[in-house]
Amino acid sequence: MSLLSVRNLVIDYARTRALDGADLEVAQGETVGLVGESGSGKSTLGSAVGRLLPRAARRTEGEVTVAGEPVFDLPDARLRHLRKKHLGFVFQDPIGSLDPTMRVGDQLRLVLGRGGDVRFHLGRVRLDDPRVLRAYPHQLSGGMAQRVAIAMAMATSPELLVADEPTAALDSQVREEVSNVIFSLAAEAGTSILWLSHDLPAVARRCDRVAVMYGGRVVESGPAREVLGNPAHPYTAALAGSAPAAAAHGARLEPVPGRPPVLTGASPGCAFAPRCAFAEERCEHERPAPVRIREQDVLCHRAADLQDGLTKHVEVSA
Protein backbone atom coordinates (compact mmCIF):
# COMPACT_ATOMS: atom_id res chain seq x y z
CA MET A 1 0.00 0.00 0.00
CA SER A 2 1.26 3.49 -0.90
CA LEU A 3 1.88 6.01 1.87
CA LEU A 4 0.10 8.65 -0.23
CA SER A 5 -2.51 7.82 -2.83
CA VAL A 6 -4.39 10.43 -4.87
CA ARG A 7 -7.09 9.04 -7.14
CA ASN A 8 -9.07 11.00 -9.75
CA LEU A 9 -9.03 14.14 -7.58
CA VAL A 10 -11.13 17.06 -8.85
CA ILE A 11 -10.88 20.44 -7.08
CA ASP A 12 -12.79 23.56 -8.14
CA TYR A 13 -12.38 27.19 -7.06
CA ALA A 14 -15.75 28.76 -7.92
CA ARG A 15 -15.80 28.53 -11.75
CA THR A 16 -12.16 27.56 -12.13
CA ARG A 17 -11.04 23.92 -12.13
CA ALA A 18 -7.64 23.51 -10.46
CA LEU A 19 -7.43 19.70 -10.47
CA ASP A 20 -9.11 17.75 -13.25
CA GLY A 21 -8.76 14.12 -12.20
CA ALA A 22 -5.26 14.05 -10.70
CA ASP A 23 -3.61 10.75 -9.78
CA LEU A 24 -0.43 10.37 -7.72
CA GLU A 25 1.29 7.72 -5.60
CA VAL A 26 4.14 8.14 -3.11
CA ALA A 27 5.67 5.07 -1.44
CA GLN A 28 7.23 4.87 2.00
CA GLY A 29 10.72 6.40 2.00
CA GLU A 30 10.38 7.68 -1.57
CA THR A 31 11.21 11.17 -2.86
CA VAL A 32 8.90 12.40 -5.60
CA GLY A 33 9.32 15.65 -7.52
CA LEU A 34 6.10 17.28 -8.72
CA VAL A 35 6.86 19.64 -11.61
CA GLY A 36 4.98 21.78 -14.11
CA GLU A 37 4.32 25.38 -15.06
CA SER A 38 2.60 27.82 -12.71
CA GLY A 39 -1.12 27.10 -12.78
CA SER A 40 -0.71 23.40 -13.48
CA GLY A 41 -2.21 22.41 -10.11
CA LYS A 42 0.91 21.54 -8.09
CA SER A 43 0.15 23.69 -5.03
CA THR A 44 -3.51 22.67 -4.96
CA LEU A 45 -2.50 19.02 -5.01
CA GLY A 46 0.12 19.58 -2.29
CA SER A 47 -2.41 21.35 -0.06
CA ALA A 48 -5.04 18.67 -0.68
CA VAL A 49 -2.72 16.05 0.83
CA GLY A 50 -3.35 17.56 4.27
CA ARG A 51 -6.78 19.05 3.51
CA LEU A 52 -5.27 22.51 3.79
CA LEU A 53 -7.17 23.99 0.87
CA PRO A 54 -8.81 27.44 1.23
CA ARG A 55 -12.53 27.61 1.96
CA ALA A 56 -13.28 28.55 -1.63
CA ALA A 57 -11.99 25.17 -2.81
CA ARG A 58 -14.49 22.37 -3.38
CA ARG A 59 -13.75 18.70 -3.94
CA THR A 60 -16.22 17.36 -6.47
CA GLU A 61 -14.67 13.96 -7.12
CA GLY A 62 -11.86 11.63 -6.11
CA GLU A 63 -10.04 10.79 -2.91
CA VAL A 64 -6.76 11.27 -1.05
CA THR A 65 -5.47 8.67 1.39
CA VAL A 66 -2.46 9.07 3.69
CA ALA A 67 -1.30 5.95 5.54
CA GLY A 68 -4.64 4.38 4.62
CA GLU A 69 -6.69 7.26 6.07
CA PRO A 70 -9.24 8.99 3.76
CA VAL A 71 -8.17 12.61 4.25
CA PHE A 72 -11.35 14.31 3.01
CA ASP A 73 -13.67 12.04 4.99
CA LEU A 74 -12.01 12.35 8.40
CA PRO A 75 -13.63 14.25 11.29
CA ASP A 76 -11.63 17.26 12.48
CA ALA A 77 -10.07 15.57 15.51
CA ARG A 78 -8.90 12.60 13.45
CA LEU A 79 -7.56 14.93 10.76
CA ARG A 80 -5.49 16.86 13.33
CA HIS A 81 -4.07 13.57 14.57
CA LEU A 82 -3.20 12.53 11.00
CA ARG A 83 -1.42 15.82 10.33
CA LYS A 84 0.53 15.64 13.57
CA LYS A 85 1.54 11.99 13.28
CA HIS A 86 2.04 11.47 9.55
CA LEU A 87 2.49 14.82 7.78
CA GLY A 88 4.89 17.76 7.69
CA PHE A 89 4.68 20.85 5.48
CA VAL A 90 7.25 23.40 4.33
CA PHE A 91 5.90 26.27 2.28
CA GLN A 92 7.40 28.75 -0.17
CA ASP A 93 7.15 31.85 2.04
CA PRO A 94 9.27 31.12 5.14
CA ILE A 95 8.28 34.25 7.07
CA GLY A 96 4.58 33.88 6.26
CA SER A 97 4.51 30.26 7.42
CA LEU A 98 5.54 31.22 10.98
CA ASP A 99 3.46 32.97 13.64
CA PRO A 100 4.65 36.61 13.68
CA THR A 101 3.49 37.13 17.28
CA MET A 102 5.55 34.32 18.84
CA ARG A 103 9.25 33.86 19.43
CA VAL A 104 10.89 31.01 17.53
CA GLY A 105 11.57 28.96 20.65
CA ASP A 106 7.95 29.17 21.78
CA GLN A 107 6.70 28.02 18.37
CA LEU A 108 8.99 24.98 18.44
CA ARG A 109 7.87 24.14 21.98
CA LEU A 110 4.26 24.02 20.79
CA VAL A 111 5.25 21.37 18.25
CA LEU A 112 7.47 19.36 20.58
CA GLY A 113 5.38 19.50 23.73
CA ARG A 114 6.84 19.29 27.21
CA GLY A 115 10.31 17.88 27.47
CA GLY A 116 11.22 18.60 23.84
CA ASP A 117 14.77 19.77 23.24
CA VAL A 118 14.34 22.96 21.22
CA ARG A 119 18.08 23.62 20.91
CA PHE A 120 18.66 20.14 19.53
CA HIS A 121 16.12 20.60 16.75
CA LEU A 122 17.46 24.02 15.80
CA GLY A 123 20.96 22.52 15.77
CA ARG A 124 19.80 19.89 13.28
CA VAL A 125 19.02 22.67 10.79
CA ARG A 126 22.30 24.46 11.61
CA LEU A 127 20.85 27.27 13.71
CA ASP A 128 23.12 27.05 16.74
CA ASP A 129 22.99 30.73 17.70
CA PRO A 130 20.97 30.96 20.99
CA ARG A 131 19.64 34.35 19.87
CA VAL A 132 17.44 32.55 17.33
CA LEU A 133 15.36 31.07 20.16
CA ARG A 134 14.41 34.55 21.38
CA ALA A 135 13.89 36.05 17.92
CA TYR A 136 10.59 36.80 16.21
CA PRO A 137 10.22 35.62 12.59
CA HIS A 138 10.62 39.13 11.16
CA GLN A 139 14.04 39.35 12.80
CA LEU A 140 15.35 36.38 10.78
CA SER A 141 16.67 36.22 7.24
CA GLY A 142 14.68 34.21 4.70
CA GLY A 143 17.10 31.30 4.90
CA MET A 144 17.02 31.25 8.71
CA ALA A 145 13.22 31.44 8.79
CA GLN A 146 12.97 28.54 6.35
CA ARG A 147 15.32 26.46 8.52
CA VAL A 148 13.04 27.14 11.49
CA ALA A 149 10.05 26.00 9.42
CA ILE A 150 11.95 22.84 8.46
CA ALA A 151 12.88 22.19 12.11
CA MET A 152 9.19 22.44 13.05
CA ALA A 153 8.04 20.24 10.17
CA MET A 154 10.62 17.52 10.90
CA ALA A 155 10.52 17.69 14.71
CA THR A 156 8.03 14.82 14.96
CA SER A 157 9.68 12.73 12.18
CA PRO A 158 6.62 12.72 9.87
CA GLU A 159 6.14 9.89 7.42
CA LEU A 160 5.54 12.34 4.55
CA LEU A 161 6.94 15.85 4.06
CA VAL A 162 5.20 18.08 1.51
CA ALA A 163 7.63 20.79 0.41
CA ASP A 164 6.00 23.43 -1.81
CA GLU A 165 8.77 25.43 -3.54
CA PRO A 166 10.59 25.75 -0.19
CA THR A 167 13.70 27.36 -1.69
CA ALA A 168 12.14 29.57 -4.38
CA ALA A 169 12.43 32.77 -2.33
CA LEU A 170 16.09 32.17 -1.39
CA ASP A 171 19.32 33.03 -3.19
CA SER A 172 21.22 30.25 -4.95
CA GLN A 173 23.75 29.49 -2.21
CA VAL A 174 21.18 29.44 0.59
CA ARG A 175 18.84 27.43 -1.65
CA GLU A 176 21.35 24.60 -1.92
CA GLU A 177 22.06 24.63 1.81
CA VAL A 178 18.37 24.51 2.72
CA SER A 179 17.73 21.70 0.22
CA ASN A 180 20.60 19.71 1.75
CA VAL A 181 19.07 20.14 5.20
CA ILE A 182 15.62 18.95 4.07
CA PHE A 183 16.84 15.86 2.25
CA SER A 184 19.40 14.86 4.87
CA LEU A 185 16.85 15.08 7.72
CA ALA A 186 14.28 13.17 5.67
CA ALA A 187 16.79 10.43 4.85
CA GLU A 188 17.75 10.16 8.52
CA ALA A 189 14.11 9.83 9.61
CA GLY A 190 12.96 7.64 6.70
CA THR A 191 10.52 10.38 5.67
CA SER A 192 9.01 10.40 2.19
CA ILE A 193 9.12 13.72 0.33
CA LEU A 194 6.70 15.26 -2.13
CA TRP A 195 8.78 18.10 -3.59
CA LEU A 196 6.86 20.72 -5.59
CA SER A 197 9.32 22.60 -7.76
CA HIS A 198 10.15 24.48 -10.96
CA ASP A 199 13.84 23.58 -10.57
CA LEU A 200 14.17 20.60 -12.91
CA PRO A 201 17.95 20.08 -12.40
CA ALA A 202 17.46 19.92 -8.61
CA VAL A 203 14.55 17.51 -9.01
CA ALA A 204 16.60 15.33 -11.39
CA ARG A 205 19.46 15.25 -8.90
CA ARG A 206 17.52 14.66 -5.68
CA CYS A 207 14.31 12.77 -6.44
CA ASP A 208 13.66 9.08 -7.08
CA ARG A 209 10.60 9.70 -9.21
CA VAL A 210 9.05 12.65 -11.04
CA ALA A 211 5.39 13.45 -11.70
CA VAL A 212 4.65 16.08 -14.36
CA MET A 213 1.45 18.11 -14.02
CA TYR A 214 -0.45 19.91 -16.73
CA GLY A 215 -4.02 21.18 -16.76
CA GLY A 216 -4.75 19.72 -13.34
CA ARG A 217 -3.65 16.17 -14.21
CA VAL A 218 -0.43 14.20 -13.83
CA VAL A 219 0.42 13.64 -17.50
CA GLU A 220 3.62 11.64 -16.96
CA SER A 221 5.25 9.92 -14.01
CA GLY A 222 8.14 7.54 -13.53
CA PRO A 223 11.81 7.35 -12.54
CA ALA A 224 13.44 10.80 -12.59
CA ARG A 225 16.18 9.75 -14.99
CA GLU A 226 13.60 8.52 -17.52
CA VAL A 227 10.96 11.23 -17.22
CA LEU A 228 13.42 14.12 -17.48
CA GLY A 229 16.04 12.45 -19.66
CA ASN A 230 13.85 10.38 -21.97
CA PRO A 231 10.33 11.89 -21.78
CA ALA A 232 7.32 10.15 -23.27
CA HIS A 233 4.85 13.06 -23.19
CA PRO A 234 5.23 16.06 -25.54
CA TYR A 235 4.67 18.47 -22.65
CA THR A 236 7.42 16.89 -20.55
CA ALA A 237 9.81 17.11 -23.50
CA ALA A 238 8.92 20.78 -24.08
CA LEU A 239 9.26 21.59 -20.37
CA ALA A 240 12.62 19.83 -20.07
CA GLY A 241 13.83 21.43 -23.29
CA SER A 242 13.05 24.91 -21.95
CA ALA A 243 15.18 24.42 -18.81
CA PRO A 244 18.49 26.37 -18.81
CA ALA A 245 20.41 23.18 -17.99
CA ALA A 246 19.16 21.59 -21.22
CA ALA A 247 20.63 24.24 -23.52
CA ALA A 248 24.11 24.15 -24.99
CA HIS A 249 26.37 27.06 -24.10
CA GLY A 250 25.22 30.16 -26.00
CA ALA A 251 22.12 28.44 -27.38
CA ARG A 252 18.75 30.15 -27.31
CA LEU A 253 16.22 28.55 -24.96
CA GLU A 254 12.99 27.30 -26.51
CA PRO A 255 10.01 28.18 -24.28
CA VAL A 256 6.91 26.03 -24.28
CA PRO A 257 4.68 27.70 -26.91
CA GLY A 258 1.35 29.22 -25.94
CA ARG A 259 -0.11 29.51 -22.46
CA PRO A 260 -1.38 27.02 -19.87
CA PRO A 261 -5.16 26.54 -19.93
CA VAL A 262 -7.62 28.04 -17.46
CA LEU A 263 -10.21 25.31 -17.06
CA THR A 264 -13.82 25.97 -16.10
CA GLY A 265 -14.73 22.28 -16.03
CA ALA A 266 -13.48 18.94 -17.18
CA SER A 267 -11.20 19.20 -20.19
CA PRO A 268 -13.02 17.48 -23.09
CA GLY A 269 -9.75 16.11 -24.51
CA CYS A 270 -6.04 16.55 -23.83
CA ALA A 271 -5.52 19.95 -22.19
CA PHE A 272 -2.12 20.27 -23.90
CA ALA A 273 -3.53 19.79 -27.42
CA PRO A 274 -3.69 23.53 -28.34
CA ARG A 275 0.07 23.86 -27.61
CA CYS A 276 1.20 20.47 -28.90
CA ALA A 277 3.02 20.09 -32.23
CA PHE A 278 1.95 16.43 -32.40
CA ALA A 279 -1.78 16.84 -31.69
CA GLU A 280 -4.31 15.13 -33.93
CA GLU A 281 -8.07 15.48 -34.23
CA ARG A 282 -9.04 13.13 -31.39
CA CYS A 283 -6.76 15.00 -28.95
CA GLU A 284 -9.26 17.87 -28.97
CA HIS A 285 -12.26 15.85 -27.76
CA GLU A 286 -11.06 12.52 -26.32
CA ARG A 287 -9.43 12.45 -22.89
CA PRO A 288 -6.29 10.29 -22.99
CA ALA A 289 -6.18 7.24 -20.73
CA PRO A 290 -2.90 6.24 -19.04
CA VAL A 291 -0.54 4.08 -21.08
CA ARG A 292 2.74 2.48 -20.10
CA ILE A 293 5.80 3.59 -22.11
CA ARG A 294 9.09 2.08 -20.93
CA GLU A 295 9.03 2.85 -17.17
CA GLN A 296 6.61 5.79 -17.39
CA ASP A 297 2.85 6.15 -17.03
CA VAL A 298 1.72 8.67 -19.65
CA LEU A 299 -1.52 10.46 -20.59
CA CYS A 300 -1.06 10.87 -24.35
CA HIS A 301 -2.85 9.35 -27.34
CA ARG A 302 0.35 9.37 -29.39
CA ALA A 303 2.83 8.28 -26.72
CA ALA A 304 3.60 4.96 -28.41
CA ASP A 305 4.19 6.68 -31.78
CA LEU A 306 6.40 9.41 -30.35
CA GLN A 307 8.53 7.50 -27.87
CA ASP A 308 11.62 7.65 -30.09
CA GLY A 309 11.13 11.23 -31.30
CA LEU A 310 11.00 13.42 -28.19
CA THR A 311 14.56 13.19 -26.87
CA LYS A 312 16.71 14.83 -29.54
CA HIS A 313 18.16 17.55 -27.31
CA VAL A 314 16.57 16.99 -23.92
CA GLU A 315 19.06 16.60 -21.12
CA VAL A 316 18.24 17.95 -17.66
CA SER A 317 21.05 17.59 -15.15
CA ALA A 318 22.52 19.28 -12.12
The pLDDT value given to residue 256: 85
Q: Is 277 exposed, middle or buried (0-12, 13-18, 19+ CB in 10 A)?
A: exposed
Domain assignment present for residue 315? The answer is no
Measuring CA to CA, which residue among 191, 181, 183, 111 is closest to residue 159? 191
Domain assignment present for residue 317? The answer is no
Q: What percent of the chain has pLDDT over 90?
A: 76
The pLDDT value given to residue 313: 44
Domain assignment present for residue 211? The answer is yes
**What tens digit of pLDDT does each residue of 29-49 get?**
999 999 999 999 999 999 999
The pLDDT value given to residue 318: 46
Domain assignment present for residue 138? The answer is no
Q: What is the mean pLDDT of the chain?
A: 91
Mapping DSSP to helix (H, G, I), strand (E, B) and coil, where does residue 218 land? strand
Domain assignment present for residue 289? The answer is yes
What is the CATH classification number for the domain harbouring 159? 3.40.50.300
Domain assignment present for residue 77? The answer is yes
Phi/psi at 223 (nearest 5 deg)? -60, 140
Domain of 200 in residue numbering reads as 4-97+151-306
Query: What pTM did the predictor assign?
Result: 0.92
**What tens digit of pLDDT does each residue of 278-308 get?**
999 999 999 999 999 999 999 999 998 887 7
Spatial neighbors of 184 by CB under 8 A, at least 6 apart, are: none
The pLDDT value given to residue 292: 95
Does pLDDT of 238 surpass 80?
yes
Does pLDDT of 316 surpass 70?
no
The pLDDT value given to residue 114: 77
The pLDDT value given to residue 11: 98
**What tens digit of pLDDT does each residue of 103-121 get?**
999 999 999 887 788 999 9
Domain assignment present for residue 114? The answer is no
Domain count, the chain: 1
Q: Which of 6-20, 159-173, 266-280 has the lowest mean pLDDT?
A: 159-173
Domain assignment present for residue 228? The answer is yes
